[in-house]
Amino acid sequence: MLAGHTDDQETARSLITDDEPSVRSAAIGALDRLGSLGVTELESALSDPSQAVRCRALEIVAHLPAEGTTRIPGLPDLLADPDPTVVEVACWAAGERVDGADRTVGPLVGIATGHDDPLCREAAVAALGALGHEAGLDAVLGGMEDRPPVRRRAVLALAAFEGPGVETALRRALEDRDRQVRQAAEDLLGDSATAGEADS
């Protein structure tokens, strides 16, 4: 949208209630680029009927300054969105917001361990790894028993955690059926993986 590149706040703001979702999405993006997107407007976009607009709003929330999210409750809410695409983006956004980890780690654990969509589970495991919150460790370890893409993501997420359970899981991953899972575990274990093989 040209309004976002020509400092035309008035035009951009007039379009955030447009009938077309793609226009509303572009409008909030333009206002964000101009530094003029208000809290009320962002909250409205986070609850927009269109999943595309909600996703665009989540992308904005992910990169707000830390103090900018204190009055925006939308991120935890959208982790429970009925649209899996929105949940996936919300997981990514949550992983970008370490400042909000105490509010999002619980919902992320729930997604990682129980969501029907494997892409959502994968995104949640990745977010838990990005946050490195101790409350997320068991869910990440649980991801080691999921489908190959989730297992690969879980191995990478374990880099944020420490403890004997973590190393045990990584060593078990060295024998995973999936080559990429094995490679990721080997990369994380480094020299100790080779040493473990030599000892066996």
Last residue of a domain, one of 72, 99, 122: 72
- Going by C-alpha positions, the residue among 63, 100, 93 that lies closest to residue 78 is 93
101 and 14 in a single domain? The answer is no
Instruction: Centre a 10 Å sphere on the Cβ of residue 86 and count the other Cβ atoms it contains.
Output: 23
> CA 191 to CA 187: how far, in whole Å?
9
Model pTM score: 0.88
Which structural domain, as residue segments, surrounds residue 193?
Answer: 75-200
Last residue of a domain, one of 39, 54, 72: 72
What's the pLDDT tens digit per position in 89-145? 999 999 999 988 999 999 999 999 999 999 999 999 999 999 999 999 999 999 999
What's the pLDDT tens digit per position in 56-68? 999 999 998 876 5
* pLDDT over 70 percentage in the chain: 88
Amino acid of residue 150:
V
Q: Is residue 50 within 8 Å of 20, Cβ to Cβ?
A: no
Q: What is the pLDDT of residue 67?
A: 66
106 and 199 in a single domain? The answer is yes
Q: How many domains does the chain have?
A: 2
82 and 63 in a single domain? The answer is no
The CA–CA distances, whole Å, from 198 to 65, 149, 167, 191, 194 equal 48, 29, 17, 11, 6
100 and 67 in a single domain? The answer is no
184 and 128 in a single domain? The answer is yes
- Going by C-alpha positions, the residue among 180, 137, 139, 176 that lies closest to residue 160 is 137
Indicate whether 69 pLDDT > 90.
no
Q: What is the pLDDT of residue 155?
A: 98
151 and 98 in a single domain? The answer is yes
Indicate whether 3 pLDDT > 50.
no
Last residue of a domain, one of 42, 72, 102: 72
